[in-house]
Amino acid sequence: MHTLDGVTRTEQYRALGLSTFAFTVCFAVWTIFSIIGVRIKQELGLSDTQFGLLVATPVLTGSISRIFLGVWTEQFGGRIMFPLQMLITAVAVWLLATVHTYEIFLLAALGLGLAGGSFIVGVAYTSRWFEKERQGTALGIFGAGNVGAAVTNFAAPFLVVALGWQGTAKVYSIVLVVTAVLFYLLAKTDPVQTERKKTGAKPVSASDQLAPLKDIQVWRFATYYFFVFGGFVALASFLPRYYVGAYGLPLTTAGVFAGFYSLPGSVFRALGGWMSDKWGARSVMYLTFLVSLVVLFIMSYPETSYTVSGIHGPITFTFGLNATMFMGMTVLLGFVMSLGKAAVYKHIPVYYPHHVGSVGGLVGMIGGLGGFFLPISFGFLLDLTGVWTAPFMLMFVLVLVSTIWMHVAIRRMEHARHPGLADEKYLSDVPEAPLSQSRSGARDAGRAMPQPAK
Task: Give the CATH fold of the 9-191+203-306+319-445 domain.
Answer: Growth Hormone; Chain: A; (1.20.1250)
**Per-residue pLDDT, 135:** 75
**Measured distance CA(291)–CA(338) in Å, rounded:** 12
Helix (H) or strand (E) run with residue 305 in it: strand 304-310
Q: Which of 141, 135, 79, 439 is nearest to 268 (CA)?
A: 141
**Measured distance CA(241)–CA(49) in Å, rounded:** 12
**Per-residue pLDDT, 195:** 78
DSSP letter at 448? Answer: S
**Per-residue pLDDT, 84:** 92
pLDDT tens profile 206-215: 566 566 666 7
Q: Which of 365, 352, 334 is nearest to 223 (CA)?
A: 365
CA contacts within 13 A on the Cβ side of 201: 12
**Per-residue pLDDT, 233:** 80
Per residue of the chain (454 residues), give pLDDT as tens: 446 677 788 888 898 999 999 999 998 998 888 788 778 888 888 887 788 788 778 878 887 887 778 778 877 888 889 999 999 999 888 888 887 788 888 888 888 888 888 888 888 888 888 877 777 778 878 877 877 877 887 888 888 888 888 888 899 999 999 999 999 999 888 887 777 777 766 666 556 656 666 677 777 788 888 898 888 888 887 888 889 888 888 878 888 888 888 778 767 877 887 888 788 778 898 999 999 999 999 998 887 777 788 777 788 877 778 888 999 999 999 999 989 988 887 777 667 766 666 677 778 777 778 877 888 888 888 888 888 889 999 999 989 988 988 888 777 776 666 565 555 554 445 455 454 444 444 444 444 444 444 3
Count of CB atoms situated within 10 Å of the CB of 309: 7
**Per-residue pLDDT, 26:** 92
**Per-residue pLDDT, 336:** 92
Task: Report CA-CA distances (Å) from 406 to 121, 224, 297, 356, 383.
Answer: 27, 8, 20, 22, 32
Task: Report CA-CA distances (Å) from 305 to 254, 365, 388.
Answer: 26, 42, 16
Q: What are the domain boundaries of the chain?
A: 9-191+203-306+319-445
**Per-residue pLDDT, 431:** 52
User: Would you list the DSSP string of 117-144?
Assistant: GHHHHHHHHHHTTS-HHHHHHHHHHHHG
Count of CB atoms situated within 10 Å of the CB of 393: 18
pLDDT tens profile 361-395: 778 777 778 877 888 888 888 888 888 889 999 99
Q: What b/e string do you get for 110-142 counting C-beta neighbours within 10 Å, with b at 16 or more?
A: ebbbbbbbbbbbbbbbbbbbbeeeebbbbbbbb
User: Would you list the DSSP string of 371-393?
Assistant: HHHHHHHHHHHHHHH--TTHHHH
